[in-house]
Amino acid sequence: MNKPTGWRVGVTLAVLLGSVGAYWWRGHEALKKSPTAPPNPTISDVLRNGLKLGLDLRGGIHLVMQVKTADALRVEAQDTLERLKDEGGKRGVSVMPAGPADGTGFTLRIDEKTDAAKLKDLVTAVLPPNAWSIDQRGREWKISYKDSERITIEDQATRQAVETIRNRVDALGVAEPVIQRQGTDRIVVEIPGVDDPSRVKEIIGTTGLLELKLVDDRGGPYPTTDAARAAYGGTVPEDLEVVEGFNEDADARTRTPVWYVLKRAAAVTGRDMKNARVDRDKFNQPAVMFFLNAQGALKFGKVTGENINKRLAIVLDKRVQSAPNINSQIKESGIIEGNFTAEKADALSLVLRSGALPAEMIILEERTVGPSLGLDSIKKGVLASIVGMICVFIAVVLYYRLSGLNAVLALTLNALILLGAMSYINATLTLPGIAGFILTIGMAVDSNVLIFERIREEMDNGKAPKPAIDLGFKRAWGTIVDTHVTTIMAALFLFQFGTGPVKGFAVTLVIGLLASVFTAVFVSHLLFDLIYGPKERVESLSI
């Protein structure tokens, strides 16, 4: 049993100091990122921030949102149709849509004046053959997405939505948000510690689709949609659309709904946006000034230059905010007026700066957790852990005597390693995670029980204490590995297929089990060697 212990002592101390150091470092990093951290944090402040707490402990908002990818497909199809019409105009080929584009594609109408051969050459030249399919049905050509292109656009829309939401949440200054994709078209958003969940939902869910569209010469405004259609003989032309807005009384500051008839194709969209900030309108009320990039400024300048003395509607999320007259050519910027409060103007400028969502978002699930519930959960979870550890300590000391102190030290180190490892990998501690922490305490002491019982069996069979210790550890090793490996495999399945708190439980359990093997076998054996190794002969063992 007189084995070299120096390197084993070094490894144990390195693991202990590394665990404590990782927890301390993570606590300092969390305080640096927190906007509410005190200027001179105390030791207790650092210790409280060493672990990232989950939503069920810290409080906040949990959202499961779905991206309406059909909107993104419709917008892409409409853009493709407009590009086809522009190119057709350059080549002298008439392109007549049979209706507005939708999520499947668009339809072209063929009449006696249409040169079908030239139209087919145009379509083949403009539309990639691997993205679109053409189905000729008499006097109509149905141009549809191929499956590969549809899947690609849906995937891009969801990924863009994730990044846009992340930009918006980051602009709110929220610490440690969780924003991740789930499946093909769903996004999970967890924001801890928010004070106003309704404002967060509004900012996250607002599409932020900005479009600048020309108002038709007979475009209103009209008091009703029927009145708008009646101005066109009951049917609005296909290249126009009726969009709701509001009429504002300059004196009374009242708003009444009205309807405009606009060009369906947008002159400029939010894709051409460079920046946005809060400004003031002509009534000294909050408004939003937006700035366009070089390409947007070029398009905006062309449209405003060619349509002086006409009106340009500023459409946000399919609602006309204002329809000012174009007095001169404008290139780089514009202003959105809409009777905003200062808070709403700030929120809108944030949304425009972070970019428009590619499609409308639907909230499928919403949970708001109050911080008082989280604090209560933490207190009860910590109390349960402490009481459980104390009960285990007392039980092993009473049953295994001085050897039980060995198990107590191993369990203490196990807890420190678990906390340090979770801090180092920046794992989130959830309420089920606390349950996993308590479970690992039981698993860790179970390993010590197996080893101690093996040592007792060897001593009952006549072995001396020193050989009995070695044989006890050696023969218990296989059983310990079997029990831990099977439990770790189950935890890995929970992590792979579980969501949210279930993953937190699995992470805590896996780390705790690995730490348990290290402390129960490596550290416990080292303690026996340190106590009994230097002695020439050991007559008895307190076990």
CB 181 within 8 A of CB 334: no
> What is the biggest distance separating any 2 CA atoms in the chain, rounded to whole angstroms?
112
pLDDT at 420 over 60: yes
- Mean pLDDT of all residues in 247-272: 71
Asked whether the beta carbons of 193 and 175 are under 8 A apart, the reply is yes
Mean pLDDT, rounded, for 207-228? 79
Highest CATH level, class, for 69-150:
alpha beta
Contact status, residue 465 vs residue 541, Cβ threshold 8 Å:
yes
- Report residue 289 as tokens: 């000034």
Provide the pLDDT for residue 55. 67
Tokens of 169: 């949440």
Q: Which residue has the higher pLDDT, 248 or 432?
A: 432
Other CB atoms closer than 10 Å to residue 88's CB: what's the count?
A: 19
Q: What is the pLDDT of residue 305?
A: 80
pTM of the full predicted structure? 0.56
Which fold, 206-366?
A: Gyrase A; domain 2 (3.30.1360)
Place of tokens 């808070």: 343
129: exposed, middle or buried (C-beta count within 10 Å: 0-12, 13-18, 19+)?
Answer: exposed
* Residue 340 or residue 502, greater confidence: 502
Res 251 pLDDT > 60: no
Q: Give the Cα-Cα-Cα angle 189, 195, 199 (nearest 5 degrees).
A: 65
- Domain 6-59+370-532 classification at class level: mainly alpha
For the beta carbon of residue 274, count every other beta carbon within 10 angstroms.
Answer: 16
pLDDT, average across residues 427-434: 77
User: What is the reported pLDDT for 352?
Assistant: 63
For residue 4, pLDDT over 70 is answered with no
Instruction: Please state whether 138 falls in left (phi above 0), alpha (psi between -120 and 50) or beta.
Output: left
pLDDT band at residue 207 using 50, 70 and 90 as cut-offs: low
Q: What whole-number percentage of the chain has pLDDT above 90?
A: 0
pLDDT in tens, 350-400: 666 656 677 777 888 877 766 655 567 667 777 877 887 788 888 888 888
pLDDT for 51: 78
How big is the CA angle at 15 (ends 11 and 20), to the nearest 5 degrees?
150
Q: What are the strands of the beta sheet with 319-322, ordered from one edge?
A: 268-269, 210-214, 312-316, 319-322
Residue 35 pLDDT greater than 50, yes or no: yes
Structure tokens given for 351: 């949304």
| Three-state SS at 299 | helix
What's residue 379's pLDDT? 76
What is d(CA 86, CA 302) in angstroms, rounded to the nearest whole number? 15
Q: How far apart are CA 239 and CA 96, in angstroms?
A: 10
- Six-digit token pair at 96? 């007549």
Q: What is the chain's mean pLDDT, rounded?
A: 78
* Lookup: tokens for 129: 């053959």
Question: Please, which pLDDT band fits residue 329 given cuts at 50, 70 and 90?
Answer: confident
CA dist 491 and 424 (Å) reads 20
Average confidence (pLDDT) over 317-339: 72
Q: For 91-134, how does the pLDDT look when each residue is reduced to its tens digit (9 = 90+)?
A: 777 778 877 788 888 888 877 777 777 878 887 888 887 888 88
Q: In this predicted structure, what is the pLDDT of residue 252?
A: 44
Structure tokens at 176: 């440690």
CB 236 within 8 A of CB 216: no
Residue 259's pLDDT band, with cuts at 50, 70 and 90, is: confident
Q: Which of the two residues, 73 and 53, has the higher pLDDT score?
A: 73
Domain segments of the chain as ranges: 6-59+370-532, 69-150, 206-366
Q: Which of 308, 522, 517, 514 is nearest to 421 (CA)?
A: 514
164 pLDDT above the threshold of 70: yes
